[in-house]
Amino acid sequence: MAKRSIIQIKDLKKVYDLGAFKVQALKGLNFDIEEGSYTAIMGPSGSGKSTLLNILGCLDRPSNGAYILGDDDVAHMDDKELSGVRGSRIGFIFQSYNLIQQLNVVENIHVPLFYQGKDISDHYDHCVKLAEKVGLADRLDHRPMQLSGGQQQRVAVARSLVNEPLMLLADEPTGNLDSTTEQEILDILDELHGEGRKLVIVTHDDAVAERAERVIHLKDGLVDQDIRKGAAKAVAN
């Protein structure tokens, strides 16, 4: 039985108007991402992967085309609607962790719920369980400056899960880590995928992309290759 598509990208285009000239960052992307899948998006500088990341994360809108997340076309939502989608349906993992220095581990994990107006007292146990899930049971009261880079990224992974998102979206999640810690974080992501979480990772690192079931290569704003389980095929848009 075929898996349901959680993301559908249809003729997606993005044009930046710079006044004197326009830059066409995405030139008509077409692909689906299935429920429970693990997908890596790769490409050289200028390929459009950062633009696509921003659109997938509802941080920006396409100029044309459709981006369907679940059952909703989010491409034409207003700012308030996009904010709601970001807060409830997408879990972000950033290269730079983006933790709040004044907050401890549990409080940082709670932040997405705070922005939804949910008090930490009602979700404290949930946040603690997520900290334990990523191996931080003995660091609950620590602040970011008291943690290693790998531990900070573990907090970021736990934070991405706190709102039970439809999708985890990771931007170079191991870019600031040494090779040993990188493998530890990738192992955690593998475990999450094994639990049925849908992962989309934007990376330039082949070692990171190797963990994925599928690798979508962008070039000049188009899908250049779509590789599934070792079988590569060129895709014309």
SS (H, E, C) 101-132: CCCCHHHHHHHHHHCCCCCHHHCHHHHHHHHH
> Within a domain: residue 109?
yes
Kindly state whether residue 143 falls inside one of the protein's structural domains. Answer: yes
Count Cβ atoms within 10 A of the Cβ of residue 164 and give its class: 0-12 exposed, 13-18 middle, 19 or more buried.
exposed
Query: Which tens digits make up the pLDDT trace of 28-37?
Result: 999 999 988 9
Query: Which letter does DSSP use for residue 38 in this model?
Result: E
Q: Is 221 exposed, middle or buried (0-12, 13-18, 19+ CB in 10 A)?
A: buried
Judge whether 218 lies within some domain: yes
Q: In sequence order, which ranges of the chain are alpha helices (DSSP H)?
A: 49-56, 79-89, 105-114, 124-133, 149-161, 179-194, 206-209
- Kindly state whether residue 26 falls inside one of the protein's structural domains: no
Strands 214-219 and 72-73: unpaired
Which pLDDT score is estimated for 231? 47
Please give the mean pLDDT across all residues of the chain: 92
**pLDDT recorded at residue 236:** 44
Answer whether residue 157 is part of any domain.
yes
Based on its alpha-carbon atoms, the radius of gyration of the chain, rounded to whole angstroms, reads 18
- pTM score > 0.85 for this model? yes
Q: Please give the DSSP secondary-structure letter assigned to residue 234.
A: B
Q: How confident is the model at residue 47 (pLDDT cuts 50, 70, 90)?
A: very high
Residue 56 lies in a domain: no
Query: In the predicted model, is pLDDT for residue 234 greater than 50?
Result: no
Predicted confidence at residue 2, as pLDDT, reads: 61
Residue pLDDT, tens place only, 54-85: 999 999 999 999 999 998 999 989 999 999 99
Q: Indicate whether 152 belongs to any domain.
A: yes
- The CATH number for 163's domain is 3.40.50.300
pLDDT recorded at residue 63:
96
Per-residue pLDDT averaged across 201-221, rounded?
94
Burial of 17 (0-12, 13-18, 19+ CB in 10 A): exposed
Domain count along the chain: 1
pLDDT at 103: 98
Q: Which of 92-101, 140-149, 178-187, 225-234 has the least mean pLDDT? A: 225-234
Residue 52 has pLDDT above 50, yes or no: yes
For a pLDDT cut of 70, what percent of the chain falls above it?
Answer: 95
As a whole number, mean pLDDT of residues 9-25 equals 93
Q: Within a domain: residue 205? A: yes
pLDDT over 70 at 19, yes or no: yes
Domain that holds residue 198: 38-45+78-228
